Structure 1
Amino acid sequence: MNKTTIAKAANYVGDTVTIGAWLTNKRSSGKIAFLQLRDGTGFMQGVVAKNNVSEEIFQLAKTMTQETSMYITGKIVEDKRSPLGYEMQVSDIEVIHEAEDYPITPKEHGIEFLMDHRHLWLRSKKQHAVMKIRNEIIRATYQFFNDNDFVKIDPPILTASSAEGTTELFHTKYFDEEAYLSQSGQLYMEAAAMAFGKVFSFGPTFRAEKSKTRRHLIEFWMIEPEMAFTDHEESLKVQEEYVSFIVQSVLKNCKLELETLGRDVSKLEKVKTPFPRITYDEAIALLKEKGFYDIEWGEDFGAPHETAIAESFDKPVFITHYPTKIKAFYMKPDPNRPEVVLCADLIAPEGYGEIIGGSQRIDDLELMKQRYEEHGLTGEAYQWYLELCKYGSVPHSGFGLGLERTVAWISGVEHVRETIPFPRLLNRLYP
Structure 2
Amino acid sequence: MDGGYIVLTTIKEITNHVGKEVKLGGWLYNKRSSGKIQFLQLRDGSGFIQGVVVKNQVTPEVWEAAKSLTQESSLYIWGTVRKDERSPIGYELDVTNIKPIQIAIEYPIAKKKHGVDFLMDHRHLWIRSPRQHAILKIRAEIIKSVQQFLDDHGFTLVDPPILTPSSCEGTTNLFHTKYFDEDAYLTQSGQLYMEAAAMALGKVYSFGPTFRAEKSKTRRHLIEFWMIEPEMAFVEHDGNLEVQEQILSYVVQHVLEHCRPELKTLGRDLGRLEKVRAPFPRITYDEAVELLHKEGFEDFKWGEDFGSPHETKIAESFEKPVFITHYPTEIKAFYMKPDPDRPEVVLCADLIAPEGYGEIIGGSQRIDDPDLLAQRYKEHDLPLESYDWYMDLRKFGTVPHSGFGLGLERTVAWICGLDHVRETIPFPRMLNRLYP
The answer, yes or no, to whether TM exceeds 0.5 is yes
CA distance in 1 between counterparts of 2:40 and 2:255 reads 29
Cross-structure match for 1:25: 30
Cross-structure match for 2:78: 73
Cross-structure match for 1:289: 294
CA distance in 2 between counterparts of 1:363 and 1:326 reads 19
Matching residue's letter, 2:408? L
Aligned residues: 431
Residue aligned with 2:304, SS: coil
Stretches of structure 1 that go unaligned for 5 or more consecutive residues are none
Cross-structure match for 2:376: 371
Cross-structure match for 2:9: 4
CA distance in 1 between counterparts of 2:107 and 2:383 reads 56
Q: Structure 1, residues 137-156: CA drift from partner, whole Å, max 9, x if none?
A: 01101100010000000000
Q: Structure 1, residues 30-88: CA drift from partner, whole Å, max 9, x if none?
A: 11010000000000100001111112211221331000000000000000011111010
Determine if the alignment matches structure 1 residue 264 to structure 2 residue 247: no
Quote how far apart the aligned CAs of 1:101 are: 1.1
CA distance in 2 between counterparts of 1:192 and 1:58 reads 62
Cross-structure match for 1:400: 405
Cross-structure match for 1:328: 333
Determine if the alignment matches structure 1 residue 48 to structure 2 residue 53: yes
Cross-structure match for 2:106: 101
Cross-structure match for 2:254: 249
CA distance in 2 between counterparts of 1:88 and 1:317 reads 47
CA distance in 2 between counterparts of 1:142 and 1:274 reads 21
TM-score normalised over the length of structure 1: 0.99
Cross-structure match for 1:167: 172
Cross-structure match for 1:232: 237
Matching residue's letter, 1:30? G
Match among 346, 371, 380 for residue 341 of structure 1: 346
CA distance in 2 between counterparts of 1:129 and 1:259 reads 9
TM-score normalised over the length of structure 2: 0.98
Residue aligned with 1:340, SS: strand
CA distance in 2 between counterparts of 1:51 and 1:17 reads 20
Residue aligned with 1:268, SS: helix
Quote how far apart the aligned CAs of 1:411 are: 0.6
CA distance in 2 between counterparts of 1:368 and 1:2 reads 63
Residue aligned with 1:278, SS: strand
CA distance in 2 between counterparts of 1:430 and 1:88 reads 38
The answer to whether the Cα contact below 8 Å between 1:191 and 1:385 also exists between their aligned partners in 2 is yes
Quote how far apart the aligned CAs of 1:387 are: 1.0
Match among 188, 191, 204 for residue 193 of structure 2: 188
CA distance in 2 between counterparts of 1:11 and 1:266 reads 31
Q: Which runs of 4+ in 1 moved over 3 A?
A: none
Q: Structure 1, residues 381-427: CA drift from partner, whole Å, max 9, x if none?
A: 11100111111000000000000000000011110000000000000
Cross-structure match for 1:203: 208
CA distance in 1 between counterparts of 2:137 and 2:102 reads 26
Q: Structure 1, residues 277-333: CA drift from partner, whole Å, max 9, x if none?
A: 000000000011110111010000000000000000001000000000000000000
